[in-house]
């Protein structure tokens, strides 16, 4: 448990950076745990939701004087897994922490969990944007992914949200699923485009440590990831979405002009944000910390103490450079290395001129003055580029 | 100063192939002469280093004095033990020079093997009386009649009266001892003359310093005497003389014809030379040292590097300690751009190298990386000078090379007859020149080839073993240096030469070897953000090439606020892995890539 002084120091640091313009809220409950998911999510714990909502209210209240959110993102878990009255209550807590209505207020939703009542609650709470976890339109693949919805429900959810007046909808796809064919992948993209979301997130399936998928893969029941295949699928999806007029503004994110997710842009641009809820991360200046993952411990920590922190760290200047490049080079706009140097005192342009020149020659990046941005080929190897530039 | 026959003394050795039972037979002799209680458990007294016992190889010779009464006469029998491997053939020859006779011990289940032949020849050359003895006759599969025939065919020794025994059970061993007394001539020498003794071995003792083993030819030796080691040019006061019975036992004096030891404040084995002559100080007028002395010359080299750089000093200490016991092994510090700081070590041969490495690992806690062995070359330069080349970087510019020479061995292989075809093919591949074939029996053949030592140290022994399903045995002796089409092959990674990977090889085998190296590099160097060409080149000519294609995918699909710390740590971990790599131009080469090429224990395709 952190001492009161640690919490005080943290608060003082946040207050010095206030007002914080970005707020993340975590809702860690799901109807079912998907076998590929390594997020902080818990199934069959509905009894805890009411207490959790109260704890969220306490934590939000504690940060109230530091917050002036321009963007809010409620993620999970499944934020819409709560009952309508629970959803309404915690969104009210969130809204109460914002002095003015946030310009972008996103809630993640699972198609299987959306009802007209919940959509009404979302609209009433000032939510401006809903991110729908569709993942695929192939029912067999959805079952294999452990999803509780099918393609028809995904389409119904979109209709419901449009009817509820939502103008910013995002659709999540997972690519290169085991057993998926390239043709099926192209079909998924076409069906996604047909729903006309303003924003699409398209992630290659990742086998994360500790998930059922990874265990199955190690045991030989699922095929091992294949870089060449994944790259092929990724390129097909990119071509499909760009052909339909979406711009790839981040490695895995596509949007109509002006419909980029401002909240997530804040992460990639290394802005400050506060995260509340179980397992939520916060980032202010050089500092990062994370709340306790377990809902029960989170609830107890918020209700009885100053909050339970899982870890806290301050990054040194070189680590800050790594963070800024690792996040920023994911964006089409790239990174202003001059600004990175000014903020950290580490001049990448001067430290690694030969690498920059080499990568530019290899067609991996483009330089425009102090700004560096990756080409599509560079995106495919972003980790290696970041390692090279920060070596 | 008339020479006398010293009728009661017999100096003899046992020559045999490894594992044919030499040490066991020696133990039986010690029992028969009362030096060892029967089955006391302290078997194989002659091999007192654990390692030698395990390997069944006696590396350091000893001289044991035994007393035996036969037909009412007391005899002094000196058993002078010899190393069992031809890496030590010079040492063997010096030990044999201290004897008048030898038991030629052959395992009657195995028959004549390559080292039986080599050691028997050495004994014949030394003018020794040979007594053939067949061992293990109690075993199933013993075929004494065939083995006798093999001895006669290959060695030209009359084996009709060869004795049969079982050193294990003791059966027949007394007869061997008694026959020995009959056939081995007594030594001839002048006990009253000036001291003349052959220094045939020496060991280092932590408490006494160097203990020198000598065979007295003329004169006598006692404590208090001042002696000179002729070759070393040093004088010493003898502090103690004695015999091994079987442990060191002080005696008042050693006389002509006898063997024993002397202790004389000699600090290091480097100060004594095997084969040197010991005489009085100053030597008598007109003194001539004994013939046959030679400087031991390392023929095989390899690099020994600590796996962890912090162990460098520990390794140096371990090497120094080892050298106290083995002056024939040499080491000098060297730096490899791939492996860091280590030592270049010289050995008499392959087995010697193996033994040294094992001993190092056993006696010190240092993890070792051993580079593939290479041999010592000779280069005749255009200015008429000759230089010895121990590593590829010593090779001068081709313009200054008149002749590039390599050591050639006379190589005897005893193999089952059905392997003759595959062995001849292998020998040809290894640039061998056929000398002769001899049938030992209808099923066993001795093939003799002249073969470059470089080919033998590379992977020949493994290939011989697999071609003969483990039955083949090999012996070789360096004969001479011969000019050959040798070249220095360079390895270039992304156009930059990697010094640590260059090698000397024959022009004809350069291409396949180069290709193999490049293939290993291709497997072990991770992909980069650009394609990395790999080339093997002789001078400016590329003889093999491979390409590591550019990395195509290394991207984290999803990276949001909450992932920053975890994903960053993953990148940092990958970066830390890169730090341990060697940067060559723009390319990062992991140590395992160097090891896959340099290391001797990764001969994956060699063992195909």
A391 touches B: beta carbon within 8 Å: yes
Return the axis-axis angle of helices A317-328 and A337-344, rounded to nearest 10°.
150
Statement: residue B476 has pLDDT above 70: yes
Question: What percent of chain A lies above the pLDDT cut of 70?
Answer: 99
Poorest-pLDDT segment among A49-53, B175-179, B601-605: B601-605
How confident is residue B43, by pLDDT bands cut at 50, 70 and 90?
low
User: Measured between beta carbons, which residues in chain B are less than 8 angstroms from residue A323?
Assistant: 564, 568
Which of A206, A326, A388 comes nearest B568 by C-beta? A326
Please state the rounded mean pLDDT for residues B473-489.
Answer: 89
The nearest alpha carbon in chain A to B578 belongs to A391
Q: What is the largest CA-CA distance in chain A?
A: 59
Q: Do B554 and A381 touch (CB under 8 A)?
A: yes
Statement: residue B601 has pLDDT above 50: no
Q: Do A383 and B571 touch (CB under 8 A)?
A: yes
A213 touches B: beta carbon within 8 Å: no
What's the distance, Cα to Cα, between the start and end of chain A in Å? 36
pLDDT of residue B17: 87
pTM of the model: 0.69
- Residue the block writes with tokens 């842009």: A265
Residues A85, A107: Cα–Cα separation, whole Å: 16
B207 touches A: beta carbon within 8 Å: no
How confident is residue B324, by pLDDT bands cut at 50, 70 and 90?
confident
How confident is residue B6, by pLDDT bands cut at 50, 70 and 90?
confident
CA distance B552 to chain A (A): 6
Which of A311, A354, A364 comes nearest B529 by C-beta? A364
Statement: residue B354 has pLDDT above 60: yes
The predicted-structure confidence for B548-566, as pLDDT tens digits, reads as follows 999 999 998 888 887 899 8
Higher pLDDT, B228 or B245: B228
Residues B147, B163: Cα–Cα separation, whole Å: 12
How confident is residue A130, by pLDDT bands cut at 50, 70 and 90?
very high
Please state the rounded mean pLDDT for residues A123-145.
Answer: 95
Using the CB atoms, write b or e for A147-157: b if 16+ within 10 Å.
bbbbbebbbeb
A140 touches B: beta carbon within 8 Å: no
CA distance A115 to chain B (A): 28
* Alpha helices for A164-271 (secondary structure H): 182-194, 212-218, 227-243, 262-268
B580 touches A: beta carbon within 8 Å: no
Which of A206, A288, A380 comes nearest B553 by C-beta? A380
Preferred mutation among A75, A315, A328, A387 to probe B, highest tally of B CBs within 10 A:
A387
pLDDT of residue B38: 64
- Residue the block writes with tokens 């040798």: B486
Nearest to B248 by CA among B110, B45, B57, B386: B45
Statement: residue B49 has pLDDT above 70: no
Please state the rounded mean pLDDT for residues A248-266.
Answer: 97
Compute φ and ψ for A132, nearest 5 degrees: -100, 125
Q: Do B551 and A275 touch (CB under 8 A)?
A: no
The predicted-structure confidence for A28-45, as pLDDT tens digits, reads as follows 999 999 999 988 899 989
Residue A77 preceded by cis peptide, ω within 30: yes
Q: Do B571 and A387 touch (CB under 8 A)?
A: yes
Per-domain residue ranges for chain A? 4-268, 317-390
pLDDT of residue A3: 58
CB of B217 closer than 8 Å to CB of B230? no
The nearest alpha carbon in chain A to B571 belongs to A387
Poorest-pLDDT segment among A269-283, B22-36, B398-412, B480-494: B22-36
Looking at chain A from residue 312 to 351, which residues have their Cβ under 8 Å from any Cβ of chain B?
A: 313, 319, 322-323, 326-327, 330
Which of B530, B559, B568 comes nearest A322 by C-beta? B568
The predicted-structure confidence for B390-412, as pLDDT tens digits, reads as follows 888 888 888 899 999 999 999 99
Q: Is B48 exposed, middle or buried (0-12, 13-18, 19+ CB in 10 A)?
A: middle
Question: What percent of chain B lies above the pLDDT cut of 70?
Answer: 93
The predicted-structure confidence for A324-366, as pLDDT tens digits, reads as follows 999 999 999 999 999 999 999 999 888 889 999 999 999 999 9
Q: Please name every residue paired with B262 in a beta bridge, in sequence order, or none if there are none.
A: B212, B241
pLDDT of residue B460: 85
CA distance A280 to chain B (A): 7
B1 touches A: beta carbon within 8 Å: no
Q: Find all residues with CB under 8 Å of B178, minimum gap 6, and list them.
A: B70
Statement: residue B52 has pLDDT above 50: no
Q: Find all residues with CB under 8 Å of B310, minimum gap 6, and list them.
A: none
The nearest alpha carbon in chain B to A284 belongs to B561
Which of A227, A273, A326 comes nearest B571 by C-beta? A326
Q: How far is CA A290 from CA A63, A176, A293, A327, in A?
A: 15, 31, 8, 18
Preferred mutation among B553, B574, B582 to probe A, highest tally of A CBs within 10 A:
B553
Please state the rounded mean pLDDT for residues A120-132.
Answer: 97
User: Measured between beta carbons, which residues in chain B are less than 8 angstroms from residue A319?
Assistant: 568, 572
User: Measured between beta carbons, which residues in chain B are less than 8 angstroms from residue A251?
Assistant: 555, 557, 559
Which of B529, B555, B575 comes nearest A379 by C-beta? B555
CA distance A323 to chain B (A): 7
The nearest alpha carbon in chain B to A322 belongs to B568
Which of A279, A280, A383 comes nearest B555 by C-beta? A383
Statement: residue B305 has pLDDT above 70: yes
A227 touches B: beta carbon within 8 Å: yes
CB of A231 closer than 8 Å to CB of A380? yes
Which of B554, B557, B564 comes nearest A206 by C-beta? B557
CA angle, A299 then A302 then A303, to 5°: 80
CA distance A291 to chain B (A): 11
Residues A92, A57: Cα–Cα separation, whole Å: 9
Mean pLDDT of chain A: 94
CA distance A72 to chain B (A): 13
Nearest to B102 by CA among B123, B76, B88, B117: B123
How confident is residue B203, by pLDDT bands cut at 50, 70 and 90?
confident
Q: How is residue B382 written in tokens? A: 């255009």
A279 touches B: beta carbon within 8 Å: yes
Q: How many helices and strands, by DSSP H and E, does chain B display?
A: 14, 36
A126 touches B: beta carbon within 8 Å: no
Looking at chain A from residue 151 to 210, which residues have their Cβ under 8 Å from any Cβ of chain B?
A: 203-206
Instruction: Indicate the fold that domain A4-268 takes in CATH.
Output: pyruvate-formate lyase- activating enzyme (3.80.30)
Please state the rounded mean pLDDT for residues B580-601.
Answer: 78
The predicted-structure confidence for A196-208, as pLDDT tens digits, reads as follows 999 999 999 999 9
Please state the rounded mean pLDDT for residues A261-275.
Answer: 97
- Count the Cβ atoms, other than its own, within 10 Å of residue B493: 24
Q: Do A326 and B552 touch (CB under 8 A)?
A: no
Q: How far is CA B460 from CA B413, B427, B428, B457, B515, in A?
A: 11, 9, 12, 7, 19
- Fold agreement (A4-268, A317-390): no
Instruction: Indicate the fold that domain A317-390 takes in CATH.
Output: Arc Repressor Mutant, subunit A (1.10.10)
What's the distance, Cα to Cα, between the start and end of chain B in Å? 65
pLDDT of residue B55: 39
How confident is residue B61, by pLDDT bands cut at 50, 70 and 90?
very low
User: Which of A12-26, B85-99, B432-446, B463-477 is predicted most confidently?
Assistant: A12-26
pLDDT of residue B53: 44
pLDDT of residue A190: 97
B562 touches A: beta carbon within 8 Å: yes
CA distance B570 to chain A (A): 10
For chain B, domains (ranges, CATH) are 4-188 (3.40.50.300), 190-280 (2.40.30.10), 300-372 (3.30.70.870), 378-483 (3.30.70.240), 487-607 (3.30.70.2570)
Please state the rounded mean pLDDT for residues A88-100.
Answer: 97
Mean pLDDT of chain B: 86
> Where do the DSSP E strands lie in B453-603?
473-483, 486-493, 496-497, 503-506, 532-538, 541-548, 582-584, 587-589
User: Measured between beta carbons, which residues in chain A are less than 8 angstroms from residue B561?
Assistant: 24, 264, 266-267, 273, 275, 281, 283
User: Measured between beta carbons, which residues in chain A are less than 8 angstroms from residue B567?
Assistant: 326
pLDDT of residue B509: 83
User: Measured between beta carbons, which residues in chain B are less than 8 angstroms from residue A205?
Assistant: 557
DSSP state for residue B287 in the 8-state scheme: -
Poorest-pLDDT segment among A103-107, A133-137, B31-35, B67-71: B31-35
Interface predicted TM-score of the whole assembly (ipTM), two decimals: 0.92
Preferred mutation among B496, B560, B561 to probe A, highest tally of A CBs within 10 A:
B561
């Amino acid at each position: 448990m952190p001492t009161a002084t640690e919490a005080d120091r943290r608060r003082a640091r946040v207050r010095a950076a206030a007002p914080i313009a970005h707020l993340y809220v975590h809702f860690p409950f799901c109807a079912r745990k998907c076998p590929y998911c390594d997020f902080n999510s818990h199934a069959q714990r509905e009894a805890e939701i009411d207490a959790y909502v109260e704890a969220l209210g306490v934590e939000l209240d504690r940060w109230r004087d530091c917050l002036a959110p321009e963007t809010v993102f409620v993620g999970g878990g499944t934020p819409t897994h709560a009952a309508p009255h629970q959803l309404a209550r915690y969104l009210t807590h969130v809204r109460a922490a914002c002095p003015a209505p946030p310009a972008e207020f996103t809630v993640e939703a699972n198609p299987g969990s959306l009802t007209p009542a919940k959509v009404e609650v979302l609209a009433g709470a000032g939510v401006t944007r809903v991110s729908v976890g569709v993942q695929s339109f192939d029912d067999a693949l959805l079952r294999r992914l452990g999803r509780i919805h099918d393609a028809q429900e995904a389409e119904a959810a979109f209709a419901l949200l449009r009817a509820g007046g939502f103008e910013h909808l995002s659709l999540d796809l997972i690519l290169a699923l085991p057993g998926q064919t390239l043709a099926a992948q192209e079909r998924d993209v076409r069906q996604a485009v047909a729903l006309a979301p303003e924003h699409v997130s398209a992630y290659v399936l990742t086998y994360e440590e500790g998930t059922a998928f990874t265990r199955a893969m190690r045991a030989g029941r699922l095929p091992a990831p294949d870089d060449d295949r994944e790259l092929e699928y990724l390129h097909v999806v990119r071509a499909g979405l760009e052909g339909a007029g979406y711009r790839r503004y981040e490695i895995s994110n596509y949007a109509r002009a002006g419909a980029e997710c401002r909240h997530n842009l804040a992460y990639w641009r290394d802005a400050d944000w506060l995260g509340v809820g179980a397992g939520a991360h916060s980032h202010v200046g050089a500092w990062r910390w994370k709340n306790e993952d377990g809902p029960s411990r989170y609830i107890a920590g918020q209700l009885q103490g100053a909050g339970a922190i899982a870890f806290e760290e301050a990054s040194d200047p070189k680590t800050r450079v790594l963070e800024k490049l690792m996040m920023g080079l994911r964006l089409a706009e790239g990174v202003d290395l001059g600004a990175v140097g000014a903020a950290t005192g580490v001049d990448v342009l001067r430290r690694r001129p030969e690498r920059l020149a080499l990568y530019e020659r290899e067609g991996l990046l483009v330089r425009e003055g102090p700004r560096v941005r990756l080409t599509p080929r560079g995106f495919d190897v972003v980790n290696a580029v970041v390692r090279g530039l920060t070596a | 100063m008339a020479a006398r026959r010293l009728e009661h003394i017999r100096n003899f050795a046992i020559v045999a192939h490894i594992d044919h039972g030499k040490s066991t037979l020696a133990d039986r002799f010690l029992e028969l002469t009362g030096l060892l209680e029967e089955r006391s458990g302290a078997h194989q007294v002659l091999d007192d280093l654990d390692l030698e016992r395990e390997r069944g190889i006696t590396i350091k010779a000893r001289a044991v004095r035994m007393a035996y009464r036969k037909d009412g006469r007391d005899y002094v029998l000196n058993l002078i033990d010899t190393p069992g491997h031809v890496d030590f053939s010079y040492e063997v020859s010096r030990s044999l020079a201290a004897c008048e006779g030898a038991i030629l011990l052959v395992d009657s289940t195995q028959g004549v093997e390559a080292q039986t032949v080599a050691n028997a020849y050495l004994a014949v050359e030394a003018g020794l009386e040979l007594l053939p003895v067949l061992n293990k006759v109690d075993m199933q599969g013993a075929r004494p009649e065939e083995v006798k025939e093999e001895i006669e065919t290959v060695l030209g020794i009359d084996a009709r009266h060869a004795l049969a025994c079982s050193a294990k059970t003791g059966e027949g061993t007394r007869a061997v001892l008694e026959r020995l007394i009959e056939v081995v001539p007594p030594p001839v020498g002048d006990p009253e003359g000036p001291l003349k003794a052959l220094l045939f071995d020496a060991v280092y003792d932590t408490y006494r310093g160097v203990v020198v083993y000598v065979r007295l030819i003329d004169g006598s030796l006692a404590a208090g005497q001042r002696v000179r080691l002729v070759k070393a040019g040093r004088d010493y006061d003898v502090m103690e003389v004695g015999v091994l019975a079987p442990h060191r036992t002080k005696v008042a004096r050693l006389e002509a014809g006898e063997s024993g030891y002397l202790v004389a404040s000699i600090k290091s084995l480097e100060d004594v030379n095997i084969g040197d002559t010991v005489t009085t100080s100053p030597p008598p007028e007109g003194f001539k040292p004994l013939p046959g002395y030679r400087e031991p010359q390392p023929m095989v080299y390899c690099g020994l590097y600590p796996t962890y750089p912090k162990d460098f000093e520990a390794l140096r200490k371990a090497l120094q300690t080892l050298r106290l016991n083995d002056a024939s092994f040499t080491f000098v510090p060297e730096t490899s751009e791939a492996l860091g700081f280590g030592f270049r070590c010289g050995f008499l041969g392959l087995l010697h190298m193996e033994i040294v490495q094992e001993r190092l690992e056993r006696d010190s806690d240092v993890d070792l990386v051993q580079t593939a062995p290479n041999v010592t070359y000779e280069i005749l330069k255009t200015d008429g000078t000759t230089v010895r080349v121990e590593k590829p970087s010593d090779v001068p510019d081709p313009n200054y090379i008149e002749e590039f020479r390599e050591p050639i061995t006379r190589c005897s292989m005893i193999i089952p007859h059905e392997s003759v075809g595959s062995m001849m093919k292998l020998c040809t591949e290894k640039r061998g020149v056929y000398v002769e074939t001899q049938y030992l029996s209808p099923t066993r053949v001795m093939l003799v080839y002249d073969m470059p030592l470089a080919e033998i140290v590379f992977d020949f022994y493994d290939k011989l073993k697999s071609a003969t399903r483990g039955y083949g045995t090999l012996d070789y002796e360096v004969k001479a240096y011969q000019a050959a089409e040798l070249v220095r092959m360079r390895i270039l990674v992304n156009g930059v030469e990697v010094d640590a990977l260059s090698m000397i090889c024959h022009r004809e085998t350069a291409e396949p070897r180069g290709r193999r190296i490049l293939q290993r590099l291709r497997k072990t160097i991770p992909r980069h953000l650009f394609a990395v060409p790999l080339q093997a080149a002789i001078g400016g000519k590329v003889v093999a090439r491979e390409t590591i294609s550019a990395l195509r995918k290394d991207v984290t699909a999803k990276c949001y606020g909450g992932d920053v710390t975890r994903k960053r740590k993953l990148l940092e971990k990958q970066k830390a892995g890169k730090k341990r790599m060697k940067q060559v131009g723009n390319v990062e080469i992991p140590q395992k890539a160097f090891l896959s090429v340099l290391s001797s224990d990764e001969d994956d395709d060699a063992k195909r």
